[in-house]
Amino acid sequence: MTLVNWLLQGGQEILGILLAPLLMGWVGIWRAWLQNRQAPPLIQPYRQLFKLFHKEVVIAETASPLLRVTPYLLFGCMGLTASLIPMVITDLPLAGAVDVIALVGLLSLARVFLALAAMDVGTAFGSLGARREMLVSFLAEPALLMVFFTVASLNASTSLRFMVTGFAARGFYLYPSLAFAGVAFLMVLLAENGRIPVDNPETHLELTMIHEAMILEYSGRHLALIEWANALKLLIYFSLGFALFLPFGLTDSLQGWEILRALILFLLKLTVMGAGLAVLETISAKQRLFRVPEYLGTAFLLAVLAILLHYLLGS
């Protein structure tokens, strides 16, 4: 635990916060390309955030203070979560305070507040969005937890740091249970980030929207913070996926060139997987809302199977 570690953790948080809109932009570009549209510039999300920050905030008459607190809380939680995941180095000083279970709890704390804020104004859409968000989450959250459980039992630790170094210590090994967990994680990633089979981030079509319905009453800097937090969430899930399933490149040492290599690898992984996400979204169709529990139930059961398989095959 040195000052350098703390600085690196802080640096990672800032890196995450700055990088998140870029990832959104990158996925957006690929989606546009794949759909034969003209792509927006890569920095479009930054422009949007900049514009929103400068607009005036309009708050509904029936809103309580909860509505105004939530964006800050959401952004704070997401920023914190981003700093907890080993993106570049694994030896993060805060990693001991928050293990994966607490990480799931932290994400869910942010979500509960967002859902409550959506219900705060008392409009039809707000409560609809909150209800749907909770519907998605009550299956996605346990699925995520089970994915973590699988990896945790492989490495006998729930701390992200030891999960990653556990993989590194054993070298190359094919874990069948990870195949299941990986599929489940991908499904959860799509659902939790409001991606295509579950929700469409680019729609305001009332019948299908989930996330957008919750934040209809937000405007100005509050909206900017929420959108940013949302982008951060995508980045968080990506880096979680990298840490669990593609941990190569992550370093435990503090040498400059190793960190640089890890950073470059991380960016490379983001580039490839961001494009992959766009491809995945383009080739699949949005599901009916009541197919969503089925979809997420499948993810949950796959994750459960993963952990079963781990015990059954007796690694």
Partner 1 sequence: MSHWNPAPFAQQLLDLFASLLLLIAFAMLSQRRILTLIHLFAWQGLILTLSIADSAWLTHQPHLYYSAVLTLIIKVLILPLLLHRLIRRLDVVWDVETLINIPTTMLVGIGLVVFSFNLALPIAHFSSTILRNTLGIALASVLLSFMMMITRRKAVPQVIGFLALENGLFLAATSATYGMPMVVELGVALDVLVGMFIFGIFFFQIRETFDSLDIRHMEKLKEE
Partner 2 sequence: MSLRPLDLVGLILIGWGGLGLLGLVVPARWGRCLLFPLITGLSVLMAGAGLWALQGGAQTLVLPMGLPGMPFHLRLDVLSAFFLTLLGLAGSGISAYATGYFRHMAETRAGDFQRLILLYALFLASMGMVLVADDAYFFMVAWEGMALSSYFLVTTDHEIPAIREAGFLYLLMAHLGAIALLLCFGLLQSGAGGDYAFATLRHHSLTGFWSSMTFLLALIGFGAKAGLLPLHSWLPEAHPAAPSPVSALMSGIMLKMALYGLLRVLFDLLGQPLWWWGALLVGLGSLTALFGVLFAAVQSDIKRLLAWSSVENMGLILSGLGLTLLFHGAGQETVAALALAAVLYHALNHAFFKGLLFLGAGSVLHATTERNMAKLGGLIRVMPWVAGLSLIGILSLAGLPPFNGFVSEWLLLQAYLLRPDLPQPWLNMVLPLGAAVLALVGALAGFAMVKFYGIVFLGQARGLVLGEVHDIGLWERFGMGWMALGCVLLGLFPSSVILQLDTVTHALVGQGLGASAARHGWLWVTPVAASRASYSPLILFAVIMVSVGLTFLGVRRFFHGRWRRAPAWDCGYPFQTARMQDSADGFGQPIKQIFESFFGLSREIPSPFDPHPHYHSEVRDPLWALCYLPLVRGVARLVKVVGVLQQGRISNYLLFSFTTLLALLALVTGTRP
When asked if residue 130 is in the footprint of partner 2 (CB under 8 A), the reply is yes
Exactly one of 61, 173, 283, 285 binds partner 2 (CB under 8 A); that residue is 61
Let me know: does 27 contact 98? Beta carbons within 8 Å: no
Both tokens assigned to 23: 């990832």
Which of helix, strand or coil describes residue 9?
helix
Q: What is the CB neighbour count within 10 angstroms for residue 165?
A: 20
Q: How far is the CB of 15 from partner 2 (least distance, A)?
A: 15
Residue 80 touching partner 2 (CB under 8 A) = yes
Minimum Å distance from CB 47 to partner 2? 16
Check binding of 191 to partner 2 (CB under 8 A): no
CB atoms within 10 A of CB 120: 21
Convert residues 117-156 into a mask of x (bound to partner 1 by CB under 8 A) and - (unbound): ----------------------------------------
Q: What one-character DSSP code corresponds to residue 151?
A: H
**Residue 138 interface partner, choices partner 1, partner 2, none, CB cut-off 5-8 Å depending on type:** partner 2
Pick from 100, 118, 76, 82: nearest CA to 160:
100
Is the CB of residue 119 less than 8 Å from the CB of residue 152? Answer: no
227 to 286, contacts with partner 2 by CB under 8 A? none
Size of the site for partner 1 (CB under 8 A): 23
Site for partner 2 (CB under 8 A): which residue of 125, 179, 246, 286?
125
Residue 290 touches partner 1, criterion: CB under 8 A: no
- The single residue among 3, 124, 156, 174 that binds partner 1, judged by CB under 8 A, is 174
- Least Å from the CB of residue 34 to partner 2: 29
Interaction partner, residue 225 (partner 1, partner 2, none; CB < 5-8 Å by kind): partner 2
- Long-range contacts from 245-251, C-beta under 8 angstroms, 24+ separation: 245/178, 245/181, 245/182, 245/185, 247/164, 247/167, 247/168, 250/86, 250/88, 250/89, 250/90, 250/164, 250/168, 251/88, 251/89, 251/90
Give the footprint of partner 1 on this chain (CB under 8 A).
Answer: 171-177, 179-180, 183, 293-294, 297-298, 301-302, 304-305, 308-309, 312-314
